[in-house]
Structure 1
């Protein structure tokens, strides 16, 4: 009898297979700028970072990898951001207009579609929005790089395409050693990149909801309302706090004109939540700004998009749960809707598993290095949140520390619940329930 693979395991396995394929391609001498084979750890770490759309690197992408290697990296974070099963769904739709139930179930795990009926429309939306957004941003950046920075059309086009795809997929990879620091004062570069980051990271279920009910906000789903409100609060709050802590820091915003300070602070707030680009030196930030980044990176962006973290919706549900408990309400409510108990349990599970991974990852790396704890925490949360920002220590970590980061990137991209479900030995329904008791809490 044929055994069907659990949908969660299929998703986790698809990402793993893609990572292994990417590692083999990056190991080819053709992928290295000097024509020699890259070390296994370098190829593996880069492949994981690309597929998991993180952006943490142990070598400079622009100078270490050849055009072929950079192309492989671009394809990897395009595939990783687009989604393995979403791509498979689209291919299936091209061949056959109807999808088998098994394919729908697997794709639902990855896309977080609200029902089996909307999987096809969500998959098509993913394709259309991804390609259209990337081409538009790439065109804008190409024109800017050619006209303002005198790059020839070939180089400008490649740089524009690479950064556009990286931005939309929240990958954080750049072919510049300083990321986007050289464009810190250029709104014509940073604003398109910021737009791509937000659109890609807000989540495709939200975009699907907006497309079908744009003129009727009252009928937006609770998920859409929570994601949009939470995103707005985090972006505005991050912008204000970065300005407050970095305004007089001569190593970051302090040496910039006022307009550039505002632009860089806004970019930092957008990028910190999952994108991984930076227009200011992350290693030179104040400790207060690092602490802000801990929170923003851990929360991340919207569900079922290209963003990482525990997700905005998860934190919003937990906050509503806390408010309901404080007020003594039996139901957790928001925007005139009641949050299901299963969603509350999932939110708590995601938070606990995510926090546990960050703690364990930090302890493992601290045991094998002498780097300051705050820097290690930053790298660990950046890896788990698939952000890609770094204080500058990733390349100097021992191989064991880099492998810990790869595990965190994989867990962060696949999803804590999906990964946990894929590792579970099995599931069964209990034919009985134990007597209820209320332990003391707090």
Structure 2
């Protein structure tokens, strides 16, 4: 029993219990638009996708689920994005002003707090930023949908709230069958959603750092500097590449005005890294754009936020390692700081295991379906990166393949976090060292 209470296992177990509970609720007749019980696989797949803030679906969220069912999905997205242990920490603070050491350790694992003293501060930042951001975005979207699209107040408010929570938690669920394609030329809808995606996906430790040390960027932690730099570069690369690859595509950008092309390219760059919304038809994009999405979805967003993937920090650390090796330097350096060897080992391990999961998932699904390899790869990386974008084959996959996707979503949301935390918690100095040799590499 003691082993189950290990912080890393507690995080994984928390997400698993939320999935089970969500599945049971979605199987209730009240959750189905037709007032009948949803099949267990549909309910299970949807619950996993919601808790893991992915957004892949096998049924249309807006028509298949009742308002009660949509509410359950929205709550699961909030819980999954907010974090099981963070929520437990805040509840504990409400009951008790002091937290037990085990509670602090578990929350430290999930939020990637740098020390036990940071836990309560980060938890409070998570709560404050989440609620304020979601309410502001929801209010903005509600007003826009009411005045610009003639929606009744109740419908506009529900749509605004649902999409705000889904966007901030990088979940990608939409109650519209076409996701956000109907708003492809509406900057007053897409820009607020983009802001919610970025703020939610950049990572709460970064937000905490920005809040405390906003006046002097020189005092930001190396993690914050690497995450912000990597995020900025990925957003620019994604924007320019999508614009280039889709510019003459008659099924996407070719018929758009210049401003709409710029808006759609920017939205695709932001959403493709973890959010899962789309303002253009993903299935109609060029093969080059799909390949670009492989790259962006696999990296994902910032650590200890609502984003998925192997994380921006991991990718940047690996890039610094490669640059140092090419230059012949013994240390990886950035912003006047050295990247510690343990962080480098952790980044390599997370990247390799993430790649292995994607490869294995792709091979297993290819054995059970006739869909083209590029579409299967897209689906697998989208699931592992908890992105939620799809070329349109999710619902048509056999049950075995859908179950593989649920496993990838779960490991993508929990596995890499748990892995990184277990490496940190389990690190210890050996009482001896073996003689060193240098095997040939390359």
**Above 0.5 in TM-score?**
yes
Query: What is aligned with 1:169?
Result: 169
Query: What is aligned with 1:134?
Result: 134
By how many angstroms is 1:329 displaced? Answer: 1.3
Query: What is aligned with 1:46?
Result: 46
Q: Deviations over 1:291-315 (max 9, x none)?
A: 0000000010100000000111100
Query: What is aligned with 2:405?
Result: 405
By how many angstroms is 1:436 displaced? Answer: 2.4
By how many angstroms is 1:420 displaced? Answer: 8.3
Name the stretch that deviates more: 408-417 or 392-401. Answer: 408-417
User: Where do residues 422-441 of structure 1 align in structure 2 (5 Å cutoff)?
Assistant: 431-441=431-441
CA distance in 2 between counterparts of 1:254 and 1:208 reads 42
- Change beyond 3 A, Cα 1:280–1:4: closer
Query: What is aligned with 2:220?
Result: 220
CA distance in 2 between counterparts of 1:41 and 1:391 reads 21
- Change beyond 3 A, Cα 1:107–1:421: closer
By how many angstroms is 1:419 displaced? Answer: 5.0
Query: What is aligned with 2:236?
Result: 236
Q: Deviations over 1:219-252 (max 9, x none)?
A: 1111111111111111111111111010111101
Query: What is aligned with 2:247?
Result: 247
CA distance in 1 between counterparts of 2:369 and 2:63 reads 27
SS of 1:253's equivalent in the other structure is coil
By how many angstroms is 1:439 displaced? Answer: 1.5
- Change beyond 3 A, Cα 1:2–1:296: closer
Query: What is aligned with 1:340?
Result: 340
Query: What is aligned with 1:302?
Result: 302
Matched, 1:318 2:318: yes
Q: Deviations over 1:47-87 (max 9, x none)?
A: 00000000000000000000010000000000000000000
By how many angstroms is 1:327 displaced? Answer: 1.4
Preserved contact between residue 246 and residue 286 of structure 2 (Cα < 8 Å): yes
CA distance in 1 between counterparts of 2:287 and 2:382 reads 16
Preserved contact between residue 46 and residue 57 of structure 2 (Cα < 8 Å): yes
By how many angstroms is 1:135 displaced? Answer: 0.3
Preserved contact between residue 113 and residue 205 of structure 1 (Cα < 8 Å): yes
By how many angstroms is 1:422 displaced? Answer: 7.3
Query: What is aligned with 2:394?
Result: 394
By how many angstroms is 1:417 displaced? Answer: 5.2
Structure 1: which 5+ residue stretches go unaligned?
A: none
CA distance in 2 between counterparts of 1:280 and 1:139 reads 25
Q: Deviations over 1:143-162 (max 9, x none)?
A: 01111111111100000000
By how many angstroms is 1:200 displaced? Answer: 0.3
Query: What is aligned with 2:120?
Result: 120
Preserved contact between residue 168 and residue 196 of structure 1 (Cα < 8 Å): yes
By how many angstroms is 1:440 displaced? Answer: 1.4
SS of 1:55's equivalent in the other structure is coil
Query: What is aligned with 1:27?
Result: 27
User: Where do residues 10-409 of structure 1 align in structure 2 (5 Å cutoff)?
Assistant: 10-409=10-409
By how many angstroms is 1:256 displaced? Answer: 1.0
SS of 2:5's equivalent in the other structure is coil
RMSD: 1.6
By how many angstroms is 1:428 displaced? Answer: 8.2
By how many angstroms is 1:430 displaced? Answer: 5.1
SS of 1:99's equivalent in the other structure is coil
CA distance in 2 between counterparts of 1:80 and 1:370 reads 33
Preserved contact between residue 86 and residue 107 of structure 1 (Cα < 8 Å): yes
Preserved contact between residue 12 and residue 422 of structure 1 (Cα < 8 Å): no
SS of 2:310's equivalent in the other structure is coil
SS of 1:110's equivalent in the other structure is helix
CA distance in 2 between counterparts of 1:236 and 1:203 reads 19
Preserved contact between residue 350 and residue 419 of structure 2 (Cα < 8 Å): no
By how many angstroms is 1:332 displaced? Answer: 1.1
Preserved contact between residue 6 and residue 422 of structure 1 (Cα < 8 Å): no
CA distance in 2 between counterparts of 1:35 and 1:280 reads 32
Preserved contact between residue 107 and residue 119 of structure 1 (Cα < 8 Å): yes
CA distance in 1 between counterparts of 2:304 and 2:173 reads 20
Q: Deviations over 1:76-130 (max 9, x none)?
A: 0000000000000001111111111111110011000111111100000000000
Using the size of structure 1 for normalisation, the TM-score is 0.97
Preserved contact between residue 411 and residue 419 of structure 1 (Cα < 8 Å): no
SS of 2:230's equivalent in the other structure is helix
